Amino acid sequence: MILRRLWRKAVNNHIVIKVVFVSHQDFKSARKALAKRLSIFLPDTEADAESWRWFEEGLGWGRARIIAYGEELVSWDLENQIDAWFNRRKDGEPWVYILGWIMWRGRRFNVTPETLIPRPETELVFESAVQLATLIGARHAVDVGTGTGILGITLALDTSLDVTATDISKEALSVARQNAQCLNVKLNWACGNLLEPVNDPIELVVSNPPYIDLEDEATLQRELFFEPRSALFASDHGMEVVTKLIKQSIDRNAKGLVVEIGSGQGDELRSRAACMGWQTVDIRQDTAKHDRVLIARR
């Protein structure tokens, strides 16, 4: 009777009634249950951290909201959404591809299976590039193998450098262009092999090229197989593409080069760069003490 009266009132007043079916689980326990499910294939601490990311980035339920309103019941829709995500994740698909974006240095970048998932260690490339640009007085930089565009776009936004971004993959380049559009920044774009598609004089080259040894492929974690092979692997113990870039950069009279490299590649690449004519070559290590960035100057 009460319901009928409420219904008539709602219809007369054009009120839209939304019926939400809820599960028996509240947000607090659903988050914990997810961590437990993820721990079937992830170490416990990673599973816990990732479950927070799903809730925070995927559902908009971060720690503060869960602490304040965690007793609210999860709707059936959200429960189904979590199940669908879980089915993809348990087959090895990285969370970032499921979500479709990632934050890098405080900005949101769209990520697709045609692009590498940006890594935190690439921040060292960015920081080294900013320092080298100042030292050599560069006004223009080329980001080679831009992928989602993180390096080129961030350089264009946070410095006064005019940036050209290149990639051999048309699909990756189109993701990078969309990211630049979303972030409201202008770059020059070129598709092709390393520096070949760039016609203008080159001052500073910045790059995170593929550098994983092809021979290590079989031993790698399954998540990596979802990323484009051309973004990851190189022959010559992983150093083929980096070596070509070091050579092309000096041949094109670049004043400086900052390139991400693999762990243990520092000594060999330093001596190759010196042999090619680079005057000063430094190797920077990341926080885990792995060779990570080669910085070369004329």
Binding site for ligand SAM (CB under 6 A): 116, 118, 122, 144-148, 150-151, 166-169, 172, 193-194, 208-210, 230-231, 241
Least Cβ distance, residue 209 to ligand SAM (angstroms): 5
When the beta carbons of 78 and 168 are compared against ligand SAM, the nearer one is: 168
When the beta carbons of 92 and 192 are compared against ligand SAM, the nearer one is: 192
When the beta carbons of 51 and 146 are compared against ligand SAM, the nearer one is: 146
Contacts for 120 with CB less than 8 Å, ≥ 6 apart? none
Least Cβ distance, residue 193 to ligand SAM (angstroms): 5
When the beta carbons of 194 and 295 are compared against ligand SAM, the nearer one is: 194
Q: How far is CA 200 from CA 34, 141, 237, in A?
A: 52, 11, 32
Beta bridge partner(s), residue 75: 22
When the beta carbons of 235 and 271 are compared against ligand SAM, the nearer one is: 235
Least Cβ distance, residue 211 to ligand SAM (angstroms): 7
User: What three-state secondary structure class fits 147?
Assistant: coil
Least Cβ distance, residue 291 to ligand SAM (angstroms): 16
Nearest to 115 by CA among 157, 169, 154: 169
Least Cβ distance, residue 140 to ligand SAM (angstroms): 18
Q: How far is CA 268 from CA 11, 167, 171, in A?
A: 76, 25, 32
Read off the amino acid at residue 112: T
Instruction: Report residue 228 as tokens.
Output: 């484009």
Residues in the chain, overall count? 298
